[in-house]
Amino acid sequence: MPAMPLPSVSGSPGLNWDQAVEGIWHGFQPIVHMRTGRCHGYEALARGWDALGFESPQDFFNAADADGALTGVESRLMDKAAATFKRLVGTAAAKLFLNVDPRLEGAVPLVTAIGQRYGVPIVHEISELDTTAVGERLEAAVEQYRRRDIGIALDDFGVGFGGMKLLYEAQPAYVKIDRFFIAGIDRDLRKRAIVRALVSYAQTQGVKTIAEGVETAAEFYVCRDAGCDFAQGFLLGRPQTYSDTLPFLNDVVLQLNQQDRRAPAMARQRLSELLERIPPININAPRSLLLELFAHPSTPSTLPVVGKSGAPRGLIRERDLKPFIYSRYGTDLLRNKVAGSRLDEFVVPCAVCDIGTPIDRVIEAFSEDSDADGVIIVEGGEYAGFLSSRSLLKLVNERRLAAAADQNPLTRLPGNNAISEVIEGAIADLTRPHCLAYIDFDNFKPFNDHFGFRQGDRAILMFSDRLKVLASRHGGFAGHIGGDDFVLVLTGAEEAAALADVETLLSMFRLDAESLYPMDLRHQGWFEGKDRDGHMRRFPLLTASAVVLFLPPGRNEGMSVDHVVRLVAGHKSAAKAHPSRIVCARV
């Protein structure tokens, strides 16, 4: 494509747009798969505009637009970015993420031509901050991109104008969650809830999520565990120029995953055992192929569909083809090349999860859609296999049986196995603070003996209800060891806030427990009962004590669940003797 002559820069005599474009280069920032460390793609970011007297890239493009030079400037810069990327990426199957100005006329043919010229898979980023990226113009662009196998990424999601409407209309391959929701997500429960909800929706639609602006190990782990597929940010690499080949693997992510002792190896193994390795259909295959495939009895009733890069696009179901197969002219339509050869109109969305996703998250993604046929499993962003609804229901039953076997029959709270797993996870997580509270009742045996087990059960249920509410409000964990012994785990909470929550919990239970006594004993403040030796003596009204153990981030490794149990046991007596009924311990 010949260079397009460009006019002079407004207000800058002697400097023209040809010279301005020559002064711009691109830095490349990696977009990394969070579980494998593979560099899935690189975003090209323009550099050098400040040397031309502009305060931001937006000012640079605004000036070009004002001079009528935007189309020429954008096309030349996209060409430069693709040429540099092709030289640096070598034979690696990485994608080039391009920010394209929404005012650019003819963006689709320009991007398509550049991708074909350099043989580079391109992802077009549409910013949610752009108010023009909605309506018929967007729908037309989306359809053209889809037919050309060019991906769409919805950038800055969550802080712009389009919101869910743009997510619906753009049908993107990627959603880039804005850094506002990622910054400090390890300490912000509301951000965590929003990101999890977005990831959950994206998984049901087969949309991949990218956490933008990841700058700390704690943010990385939270985003990864929430189900985000990819990460981008200064922690993994700043935008930079490269003199040699772009890295295929990201050393930071590899190290973070290697250091994380919570890696779900058992979950990965179980998913691999149930995975059906159904060969996928390429989206560009002729529609007549469907007739050949479904003519064989051995062909599964549901077939995964992938793009040319191996990324999943959805499913084709035999039941959706029956109107064609059994109609008089349906088979002719499927074989008719004039009617179109692509499979798009038969592809339905399907939930997509990585092979390393925790089983509960996979089940949740499947459960979001009552009509779901299963879940597509990917590894490194590429299709790995299919989990059918039958296999997923088997997983659901396995989880239910395991939970029921471990669950306390009275409070329905998780029991010892789940408690041990949660504590092991907190010990292994060295990036975030954790608060572990062991709570038990004071003088519960004489209360239970004197007033009967029904009143004892009522006291336990009163407390467990309060504990559930507290854990749910903060995204924590509530467990019931047995009898009157409970565990509360809060992750990411500051020590002062966690301690205040435990104090409030004990205070509210003390007030609740008063209702279990006759009025005269409430005013009296004590009752007579037998101690462990069978002697009658006075006991105060029912209360609870807590040993609160704080696990700060960055602590020394080498701890175990047994170590935590010994620490707690060593402080129980002190907690019951303390006026506040709380004792704090630290590692």
Domain assignment of residue 11, yes or no: no
Would 405 be classed as within a structural domain?
Answer: no
Q: Report pLDDT for 397.
A: 86
Find the distance separating the first CA and the last CA of the chain, reported in whole Å: 65
Pair (161, 300) in one structural domain: no
Residues 214 and 340 in one domain: no
Q: Between the CA atoms of 63, 66, 71 and 74, what dihedral angle is there, to the nearest 10 degrees?
A: 10
Distance (Å, rounded) from C-alpha 276 to C-alpha 138? 37
Neighbours of 555 (CB within 10 A): 15
Give the pLDDT band (50/70/90) at residue 44: very high
What pLDDT score does 100 carry?
83
Cα–Cα dist 431/448, whole Å? 42
pLDDT at position 10 over 50: no
Host domain of residue 132: 25-263
4 pLDDT more than 50: no
Return the CATH number at 543: 3.30.70.270
The length of the chain in residues reads: 587
Buried b or exposed e, range 132-141, using 16+ CB within 10 angstroms: ebbeeebeeb
Q: At which residue do the structure tokens 């069978």 appear?
A: 534
Do residues 159 and 218 both lie within one domain? yes
Residues 125 and 187 in one domain: yes
Rounded Cα distance between 104 and 147, Å, is: 20
* pLDDT band, very low/low/confident/very high, at 13 (cuts 50, 70, 90): very low
Co-location of 560 and 498 in the same domain: yes
Task: Give me the DSSP letters along 377-396.
Answer: EEETTEEEEEEEHHHHHHHH
pLDDT score for 11: 40
Q: pLDDT tens, 233-257? A: 999 999 998 888 888 899 999 999 8
**Model confidence pLDDT, tens digit, residues 511-550:** 999 999 999 999 999 999 888 888 889 999 999 999 999 9
Q: What percent of the chain has pLDDT over 70?
A: 88
pLDDT above 90 coverage of the chain, percent: 36
Residue 16 lies in a domain: no
pLDDT of residue 9: 44
Q: Is 432 found in the same domain as 372?
A: no
**pLDDT tens-digit profile of 153-204?**
888 887 655 567 777 777 788 999 999 999 999 888 788 888 988 888 888 7
What are the two backbone dihedrals, phi and then psi, of residue 449, each rounded to the nearest 5 degrees? -65, -40
311 vs 139: which has the higher pLDDT: 311
* pTM for the full predicted model: 0.67
Integer Cα distance of 168 and 442 in angstroms: 55
- What per-residue confidence (pLDDT) applies to 333? 62
Predicted confidence band at 266 (pLDDT cuts at 50, 70, 90)? low
% helix, strand, coil for the chain, step of 5: 45, 20, 35
Q: Does the residue 402 lie in any domain?
A: no
**pLDDT of 12:** 47
Does position 571 have pLDDT exceeding 60, yes or no? yes
Residues 362 and 443 in one domain: no
Q: How many domains does the chain have?
A: 3
- Looking only at the bridges linking them, the beta strands covering 374-379 and 351-354 are parallel
In this prediction, residues 32-39 reach a mean pLDDT of: 90
With tokens 């995975």, the residue in question is: 275
Task: Select from 371, 397, 423 the last residue of a domain.
Answer: 397
Per residue in 86-123, pLDDT tens?
989 865 678 999 988 877 777 788 888 888 898 888 99
Strands 39-47 and 536-540: unpaired
For the beta sheet containing 434-442, the strands, ordered from the edge strand earlier in sequence to the opposite edge, are: 477-482, 485-491, 434-442, 543-551, 582-586
Whether residues 544 and 567 share a domain: the answer is yes
The pLDDT value given to residue 330: 61
